[in-house]
Structure 1
Amino acid sequence: MRSPTRLHLASRARAGPPLAAPAVAGPATRPGVYVSAADLAALEIAARDFHFLPRQPVHSVLAGRHASKVRGRGLEFEELRPYLPGDDIRSMDWRVTARTGAPHVRVYSEEKDRPVLLLVDQRMNMFFGTRRAMKSVSAAEAAALVAWRVLMDGDRVGGLVFGDTDFSDLRPQRSREAVLHLLGEVAHRNQLLRADAPAGRGGDQLNRALQHAARLAHHDHLVVVISDFDGHDAMTRDLLTRIAARNDLLAVIVHDPFMSELPPAGDLVVSDGELQVELGLGRDAVRRGIASFVDARSRELFEWRHLIGVPVLPLSAAEETAPQLRRLLGQDSAHMRRGRRA
């Protein structure tokens, strides 16, 4: 079911004003509101502390039944040769062994690379934040960290960066220049967002981007969708199912804690892009209604883990992005151990 409302940048709750920049502000005037290509390039060092390999710690969101959903590179048959002492018995080709009367093993090599496709949401609905950063900034940071990590692993990386009316298509390549080009496009679209921009225009862009991704990722890609999934519906789930059937798929759900941690009083303006209503947060009925809406939406998104087997990573715009990814992927403790040794 499509989300019926969107929270825009008109909150007057006592928790303090959102991070929204005025329409006349330049892109570099307020950290957390906009991000630059240089900011994203600087995240290369932080990307060394996590990975998407199938062997994940037990507390990783990819552990257990979801580990198989991030397979890493596959194996490619290389040769059939006579058995040698020390060979793994599990690689024995029993048919050839029976036919020849001598033990033979099948030798595999790791595939050279795995294309990675990032879908990065930079629609107007992402231009909201009450602490640290806008959701659009957190999404851009997550995309940069993943892109750098992929390049370090020797894989190709590309992306679909989508706004309210169109998207940029950058096909997967294996080079530093390609990553910088992708991050430059993310930063460009991020800096196009404005507080006075017309709202509610990009509801269908998520599905359009997923449709295009489904055409590009025929098989054995890693597709990472970084979005708040505003405007998702049954078609969104169907497209994710289609992509996940032949590829690895991760859903990074960017959120702001404001709606789940409402202040005790104040006014909240909610809009569907055309009409808007002012809600008094001091009324119990209003608070219950908002809490019910947020809870139902969260349950629906996280049920994708079980319905279509897609790992879901919740990313808060209120916290630093790199530590969250390390924690979600179960590598935070290892990072801390390295820090203590240093």
Structure 2
Amino acid sequence: MSQLLSPESPELDDKHFALLGHYAKQLGRAPKAIRFATTSGERRSHKKGHGMEMLELRAYQASDDLRHIDWRVTARTGQAHTRLYAQENDHQRLLLLDLSSSAYFGTRHSFISTRFIQLAGLIAWRSKQQGDTLSYRLCYGSENHASNKVGTLPILLSQLKDASNLKHRMNDTSDSSIWSNTPVTRKSHSKDVIILTDKQSWNDGDEAELMQLAKHNSVHWIQIIDSNVYNLPAGQYQMADSQGIKQVNISKQGLNEARLDFLTQNKKLHEKLTTLGIRHQTFDITESPEKLARFLLSQGALR
């Protein structure tokens, strides 16, 4: 059995993250038609080194290349402006990982949280190996980490390692959504945004920000579930959540009702995301993290 499909522990160590780096190299490449095709909305895509077509002109940001300041517009307006080129926006990526306490659970192979973290690790390694720019925000337990700086792979991997620690299921993340009230998403433009979360809902204010994010970026929403939970034999189980370990009585009727409720909520989630132009894909915990990464590769979210 794959070392990634069923790790020795849901709490991942440095050795496992090094292994993720090896697997990231073996993913292959995205189909040429996907990597270099023009997509919908404002997103533009060109083969690397194939010209420098200007994509937009906007107010200067601290991370912008000084060589691309438009001095004529700057002089006329009195405010620094930067020219952004389509080539520069091809491979900018934003990773958003948001884990609730419920994600630290699984009936087969590993925990849902572990699978999300493995996929995030593959995305981080792959971005580094391909020379892509990766910004990120991680929310788990009471922790909240974000960065839009270059060269932060060791820091990101260390934070992902911490996210796998089961102590974080004792503290749930905040009610606000991961894309809200954060600099890494507020001015995000022409990026591949990958959202990894087990959450299914958000408030009206967060929806407005999600709509704005989807308007200016290509957004991919990955959901991981454990379908086997609805096939458990009726009986008494020990379950752990943010309130600690407790005894839970499970009946066949209760499982059927829970399954129906999940399917109803998930259908609403899919329809809402589709309406916003967001690509939503659900995977089971039995599917390997390499498969999930290759799916993102096929969608052009990775290269």
C-alpha distance in 2 between matches for 1:216 and 1:37: 32
What are the ranges of 5 or more consecutive residues in structure 1 without an aligned counterpart? Answer: 1-29, 58-62, 79-107, 332-342
What letter corresponds to residue 167 of structure 2 in structure 1? R
Secondary structure class of the residue paired with 1:303 = helix
- In structure 2, the partner of 1:148 is 125
- In structure 2, the partner of 1:161 is 138
C-alpha distance in 2 between matches for 1:138 and 1:33: 9
Secondary structure class of the residue paired with 2:255 = helix
Secondary structure class of the residue paired with 1:168 = strand
Deviation, 1:110, is 2.8
C-alpha distance in 1 between matches for 2:237 and 2:265: 19
- In structure 1, the partner of 2:215 is 245
Q: How many residues align?
A: 256
C-alpha distance in 1 between matches for 2:201 and 2:104: 15
Structure having the higher Rg = 1
Counterparts in 2 of 1:26-175, with a 5 A limit? 31-48=8-25, 49-50=27-28, 55-56=33-34, 68=40, 73=45, 76-77=52-53, 110-111=87-88, 114-173=91-150, 175=151
C-alpha distance in 1 between matches for 2:156 and 2:139: 12
Residue by residue over 1:273-330, the C-alpha shift from the partner in whole angstroms, topping out at 9 and shown as x without a partner, is 6798944323x3x233112211112112222442111011323323321023325654
Counterparts in 2 of 1:299-318, with a 5 A limit? 299-318=267-286
C-alpha distance in 1 between matches for 2:290 and 2:232: 28
Secondary structure class of the residue paired with 2:8 = coil
Deviation, 1:244, is 1.0
Counterparts in 2 of 1:314-325, with a 5 A limit? 314-325=282-293
C-alpha distance in 2 between matches for 1:181 and 1:72: 31
Contact 1:134 1:317 in 2 (8 A): yes
Contact 1:162 1:209 in 2 (8 A): no
Structure 2 vs 1, CA of residues 148 and 53 (structure 1 numbering), >3 Å: closer, same or farther?
Answer: farther
C-alpha distance in 1 between matches for 2:288 and 2:271: 26
Give TM-score, length-normalised by structure 1. Answer: 0.62
Structure 2 vs 1, CA of residues 211 and 253 (structure 1 numbering), >3 Å: closer, same or farther?
Answer: farther
Deviation, 1:219, is 1.3
What value does the CA root-mean-square deviation take over the aligned residues? 3.7
What are the ranges of 5 or more consecutive residues in structure 2 without an aligned counterpart? Answer: 1-6, 55-84
C-alpha distance in 2 between matches for 1:212 and 1:149: 24
Deviation, 1:213, is 5.4
- In structure 1, the partner of 2:232 is 263
Secondary structure class of the residue paired with 1:157 = strand
Give me the identity figure in percent.
Answer: 19
Secondary structure class of the residue paired with 1:154 = coil
Contact 1:118 1:160 in 2 (8 A): yes
Secondary structure class of the residue paired with 1:131 = coil
